[in-house]
Amino acid sequence: MKEIGLVLSGGGARGAAHIGVIQALEEFGIHATRISGTSAGSIVGALYANGISPAEMLKIISQVTMFNAVRPSLLPGGLLRMDGLQLLLKNHLPEDFSKLKKPLTIAAVELKLGQVNYFDSGELIPAILSSCCIPGMFSPIRFKEALYVDGGILDNLPARPLHEQCDVLIGSHCNRVTPWFDVTNMKVVIERSLLMAIGANTLQSKHLCDVVIEPHGLDKFSAFDIGKAKEIFDLGYKFTKENLRKADLAKILG
């Protein structure tokens, strides 16, 4: 059986585009056998690895709001805790990687050593929360006797752990940096700067992928536009349906 890997980048709310990409890939007859993800990509990747359909994934993601996903934090190192997101994940995912229907790898950054770790066994939900932990916004996640933050800081498109295991590797990247940008407030400037910094670490990862899908138009959405999941999903779906070339399909399915 041909091993098809799917790598899902981080990107906050823009990660809903991954669901549209998956929907389109499945309509082309492409079903990933191994998955890796960072941050938002780890959430979508875990749901997909658990056998949840794109339609059901979109329904689940659409339930998330900033109000129900996070709580104020009294811990040092962050303003918020991801209590609501943790509860949502527990409702739809098993406790352990081994219970998933497809192999999954999740990237998170170990804060003290400053290195990226790839989790593919043991407790699942703490690994996802670690991967999603935006520094400064969320308190670092204590997991396996260490502190973790967002995997996107060092590897926002985790192709490396799948590269040697797959015959074909597909990257879905939702953080494409474009020149269209307007300085409206400090939050926008900070988010743009972080996007560019994270974008730099994806270049090598893209070269490891046989096919890279980068939906256009996502730059108009903030990483916090959770309420626009359906619109973001549609962009990912439409772009993939219209732009996946016959040569790419032959490479993946051949």
**Known catalytic residues?**
39, 150
Query: Which one-letter DSSP state was computed for residue 191?
Result: H
- For residue 36, the surrounding DSSP H or E stretch is strand 34-38
Cα angle 6-57-154, degrees, rounded to a multiple of 5: 45
Cβ pair 13, 69 in contact under 8 A: no
Cβ pair 219, 177 in contact under 8 A: yes
Residue 123, CA distances (Å) to 4, 93, 130 in order = 24, 11, 11
Q: What is the DSSP string of 16-45?
A: HHHHHHHHHHHHTT---SEEEEETHHHHHH
Cβ pair 235, 20 in contact under 8 A: yes
- For residue 88, the surrounding DSSP H or E stretch is helix 83-92
Cβ pair 14, 43 in contact under 8 A: no
Q: Supply the angle between the helices 40-49 and 54-62 in degrees, to the nearest 10.
A: 140
What is the distance between the alpha carbons of residues 143 and 191, in angstroms, rounded to a whole number?
27
Cα angle 118-122-125, degrees, rounded to a multiple of 5: 80
